Chain A
Amino acid sequence: MKSIFAFLTVAVFLVSCNPAPTSSKSSKGALTGNAAEKVYVAPGEYDEYYAFISGGFSGQLAVYGLPSGRLFRVIPVFSQDPEKGYGYNEETKPMLNTSHGFVPWGDSHHPDISQTNGELDGRWIFINENNTPRIARISLETFETEEIIEIPNSAGNHSSSFVTENSEYVVAGTRFGVPIPQRDMPISDYKGNFKASLSFLKINPESGNMNIAFQIRMPGFDYDLSHPGRGKSHGWFFFTTYNTEEAHSLLEVNASQNDKDFIAAVNWKKIEEYVAAGKGHKEASNYAHNTWDDDTHTATSVMEKEVWVVNPEDVPGAIYFLPTPKSPHGCDVDPTGEYIIGNGKLAAAMTVHSFTKMQKAIEDKAFDGEAYGIPILKFDAVNYGTLEQPGLGPLHTEFDTRGNAYTTFFISSEVVKWNVKDLKVIDRHPVYYSVGHLMIPGGNSKKPFDKYLVAMNKITKDRYLPTGPEVCQSAQLFDISGDKMELLLDFPTIGEPHYAAGCPASLIMDNSKKIYKLEENTHPDAVKSEAETRVVRKGNEVHIYMSMIRSHFSPDNIEGVKVGDKVFFHITNLEQDYDVPHGFAMIGANTAEMLIMPGRTATSIWEPKEVGVWPFYCTDFCSALHQEMQGYIRVSAKGASTPIKYTIDDDIPGMEE
């Protein structure tokens, strides 16, 4: 026995000779001291949080690290991205299909991370598009857009795309009342005739796939923002409205007249039951539903033809209006689910409603009339209290775990920290300038990670080096762990940093995909090895099934293409190694380059117009021989008899020696 133990000791020693993967991670311990230290993430170290900041009018979603503010990736969502080929190559074009045809641009607004039991689960991030109403779902494994669904019977999908506590639903709204269904009618007949839809999209808990479960046909107010109830108020959704005046012109004046607009409280659980019982009706419709498949590496666009519509009178007791001063923007629910906050953007006060009081008011029928058949609850019967004169132009509120709220004030350009229960201001800090939304990681959940706050500013003026008339917009990072908010960092953003969601890095980073497995690639035009690469002529179409691997294309010499042909490059990246994408560009192609990740297949079209010998090359610096990764295509005259010929190193691929 002794000898066995002796052996085991030796074995342990030998095992320890194997080198452990080197790691440069080290914990810093408690950070004290100046702001620079607090945002310093040493080279090679990781940020503590991901911040997903929408690009607003860029149509995309940008991924940053906190506290450093470093930009990691811009995820193309609603706009074409020539850098990656998104919306240009044949596989991704269907993602941007709509009922209006191919739309190359979008206006991305409010990202929100999926939740389980009221806490962020880091599976998907949803984001809405305002202009052509849509919602996208992005995978947080691949950081790519996996699904885009168009919202019919809506215009200006603004009060979107927030998710419920268990990701049961993601919602869409209508900011611009419109005739539903669309028809030819005088604009001045808006009042009473234009309508709005609040849509509830069911999320498949396994795949994440969305489908419109029902649409509530609401009066034609402007539905601005929304948030789900949570905890005790789970099952409800709250939407702010403005333009309850139903003005159709010069809204800046005419939609600012009413003393109070509404927060619409929607009991979606109750409506779910009504719908299950057959309440409401099916309507013919036409909207695009685009899904991406990571095995075929291809998007498909399907036109959906119907939608289930619920009118408020179909669902009595499910929808109420909470009077809220004055054109409220943000509609925020605190982590306990008790307080519903209306950020009345033209008011000098913050309105805090109580969910408990709201339930009692409903029970007591404490109504103050109705609007289009929807009961209006008495203000005093639902209102918890008012925070008087905290600042000018409140827009959006997020929360910490200590009972405090943080509200942005657009007009007075500041963030104000206040206690929700006491309705007392605790701290205020200027921002530079004109802050819109703010974000605390996990802010729309019952478990905020309340260490940092990001304020997103519309105007920067003198904050950065000038770059002509158009200057960057920016984000500002605050430390909110203490009593006083501390400004740590300014960092410029892509597009307009409209709204954001954030979460601890640990929730996502270990699931991040490294490569697509070649063996799982079911793209019909994929090649799995160089031996399968080939060129096939079908009439005037030439299909080139090409591979790329360090550091060559196969085939890299192609002849027999003629002017007037339509050339399809079906290119598969055969790499199965992390961070080895290859790029592809063809001289004179009227489209963008393609960046192709390991194991993925993508297709680009080129229509040669001139006789000659034309090069193509790898655009992503892939290896030491990247510069050598190139090839030629011989283009002969229309009608020439040059036969199709394709080689690598003067051999047909797979036929060497």
Chain B
Amino acid sequence: MRKDKIIMIVGSLILLLLFVFPLWKITLLAPQYPEPLGLNIHITHLSDGNQFNDVNNIDLLNHYIGMAHLPTKINVDKGEVEPFKEFVIIPIVVIALTVLGVIFGFIGNRKLYATWLVLLIISGIIGLYDFYNWLYIYGHKLNPNAILQIKDKVTGEMMAYQPPVFGFKQMLNFEVYSYPSTSVYFIAVSFMLVCLAFYMNLKMKTKK
């Protein structure tokens, strides 16, 4: 089989690792939490980022500022919150992209490779926008009966608690860090490999 075909197939199959490794990680440090709390965001669920029970512990702390419950197993079972629709949609997108990539690989057409790259980029941008949107909702849609109601000393408005998509933000006593996690790197690897497949295919054509 042609090398570019193999690389195209491998490149798209790598996306399946998204089912194994987390996509993003939010880390929370506070005086009372010298060993930081961690929230891993997977394409199918949330998981403990650093220690046992981190997700539930973050959810418990969130109630002080009136933040909505996270879709943890306990909360979903209790009916407190609906699980994110994204936990269903994103896996479908990932599988679709993988299957498409494999098919494109077998066909071995560089236009299809390019199409796949465009689809991956579009999915990525939509995904990031959706992530931002959720962070905005969690940060702003607060329970009016929240225990801690703190007003911004400049604007006089109720404080919002929107975690950053990328980077650092101080939120009350917590230092919040948000960075891509393992799966994002696999997406990048996948992207690079498909680019490589495209490039090899292009070279092959020009040689002829």
Contact = CB atoms under 8 A, between A and B. Distances in A.
Contact of B64 (A17, A515, A578, A624): A624
B60 interface: yes
A529 B175 CA distance: 30
Nearest to A531: B78
Contact of A576 (B29, B53, B189, B193): B53
B83 interface: no
Contacts of B188: 7, 10-11
A351 B35 CA distance: 53
Contacts of A625: 64, 147
A268 to B, nearest CB: 43
Interface string A537-552: 0000000000001100
B192 A22 contact: no
Contacts, number: 55
Contacts of B74: 529
B44 interface: no
A3 B179 contact: no
B52 interface: yes
A3 B177 contact: no
Nearest to B148: A624
Interface residues of A, number: 23
B189 A549 contact: no
Interface in B3-39: 25, 27, 29, 34-36
A4 B179 contact: no
Nearest to B195: A3
Given A14-B185, A576-B57, A577-B53, A21 B192 contact: no
Contacts of A22: 29, 34
B201 interface: no
Given A576-B52, A577-B53, A18 B185 contact: no
Contact of A3 (B34, B180, B192): B192
A358 to B, nearest CB: 53
Interface in B96-149: 147-148
B179 A17 contact: yes
Nearest to A44: B34
A10 B50 CA distance: 24
B189 A7 contact: yes
Contact of A19 (B34, B36, B60, B189): B36
Interface string B59-93: 01000100000000010001000000000000000
A21 B60 contact: no
A10 B192 CA distance: 12
Nearest to A17: B179
A18 B34 contact: no
B192 A4 contact: yes
Contacts of B179: 14, 17-18
Contacts of A21: 34-36, 50
Question: What size tier do the contact residues of chain B reach?
Answer: 20 to 34
B60 A18 contact: no
B183 to A, nearest CB: 12
Contacts of B180: 14
B189 A18 contact: no
A515 B35 CA distance: 15
A577 B28 CA distance: 14
A18 B177 contact: yes
Contacts of A576: 52-53, 56-57
Contacts of A624: 64, 147-148
A19 B192 CA distance: 27
A550 B63 CA distance: 10
B94 to A, nearest CB: 20
Contacts of A4: 189, 192-193, 196
B186 to A, nearest CB: 10
Nearest to A517: B52
A531 B75 CA distance: 12
Contact of A577 (B60, B147, B195, B196): B60
Contacts of A14: 179-180, 185
Nearest to A23: B34
Contact of B57 (A7, A517, A529, A577): A577
Contact of A7 (B52, B60, B78, B192): B192
B195 A18 contact: no
A296 B196 CA distance: 59
Interface in A617-639: 624-625
Interface in A233-269: none
Q: Which of A21, A517, A529, A577 has the most CB of B within 10 A?
A: A577
A19 B195 contact: no
A576 B51 CA distance: 10
B130 to A, nearest CB: 21
A585 B64 CA distance: 25
A653 to B, nearest CB: 11
Q: Which of B57, B74, B193 has the most CB of A within 10 A?
A: B57
Nearest to A3: B192
Contacts of A578: 35, 51
Contacts of B29: 19, 22
B8 to A, nearest CB: 15
Interface string A1-33: 001100100110011011101100000000000
Q: Which of A11, A549, A625 has the most CB of B within 10 A?
A: A11
Interface string A507-538: 00000000101000000000001010000000
B25 A18 contact: yes
Nearest to B191: A7
B60 A11 contact: no
A18 B27 contact: yes
Contacts of B196: 3-4
A17 B26 CA distance: 12
Contacts of A11: 185, 188
Nearest to B37: A577
Nearest to B184: A14
Interface string A343-357: 000000000000000
Contacts of B175: 19
Interface string A558-601: 00000000000000000011100000000000000000000000
8 contacts: A4-B193, A11-B185, A19-B27, A21-B36, A515-B52, A576-B57, A578-B51, A624-B147
Interface of B: 25, 27, 29, 34-36, 50-53, 56-57, 60, 64, 74, 78, 147-148, 175, 177, 179-180, 185, 188-189, 192-193, 195-196
Sort A-B residue pairs by CB-CB distance and give the 3 closest, nearest first: A576-B53, A577-B57, A11-B185
Given A21-B34, A515-B52, 12 more contacts: A3-B195, A4-B192, A7-B192, A10-B188, A14-B185, A18-B25, A21-B35, A22-B29, A517-B52, A550-B60, A624-B64, A625-B64
